[in-house]
Chain A
């Protein structure tokens, strides 16, 4: 039995989205790859859709986080207010830790 991936990030943690284009199905849009955001919620721990899409078991399950990004960081010429955010739900295996500025 595969054990579920353990929940690695906490709310307010900074994370960077991996840049990848694996063969098969994945749920991480290209426009958000490589961007840095902040965890705002743990949505739950779910079977991995990348495995389910190919009739796999979906195991180990992956934590899914809601991650908040600055719109102005995601879009080079974002015309809206500077305070605008974009929220994207991203599975843990697409995220890398980022140390908060000022921390060693």
Chain B
């Protein structure tokens, strides 16, 4: 049974969305963070792929490209003990307070 990312050969009548979109600031920041963490040896391409592939199918389908990257970086940083769930939750809560 192929996993969610292994799509080659799945039959579908859905058209492929070829539309382009402007990158937002947060997407650029995630891209930069991804690069920095790679340069510091805190994540590899293979680990990123594995983390993205481990997302629940419904989550995977609902997320945009950089949302998947963000989720994968979170998985890897938690795994490596660089960040804790508490730290992430606190930061999210305080960012929401600033909106």
Contacts and interface: CB of A to CB of B under 8 A. Distances in A.
A78 to B, nearest CB: 11
A58 to B, nearest CB: 8
Interface of B: prevailing SS: loop
A24 B6 CA distance: 13
B49 A21 contact: no
Given A21-B1, A24-B50, A53-B50, A29 B44 contact: no
A30 B44 contact: no
B15 interface: no
A89 to B, nearest CB: 14
A75 B8 CA distance: 11
Contact of B47 (A29, A30, A53, A75): A53
Given A52-B44, A52-B46, A55-B47, A25 B53 contact: yes
B81 interface: no
Contact of A25 (B1, B9, B50): B50
Interface of A: 21, 24-25, 29-32, 49, 52-55, 75
21 contacts: A21-B1, A21-B3, A24-B50, A25-B46, A29-B2, A29-B6, A29-B8, A30-B6, A30-B8, A30-B9, A31-B8, A31-B9, A32-B8, A49-B49, A52-B44, A52-B46, A53-B44, A53-B50, A54-B47, A54-B50, A55-B47
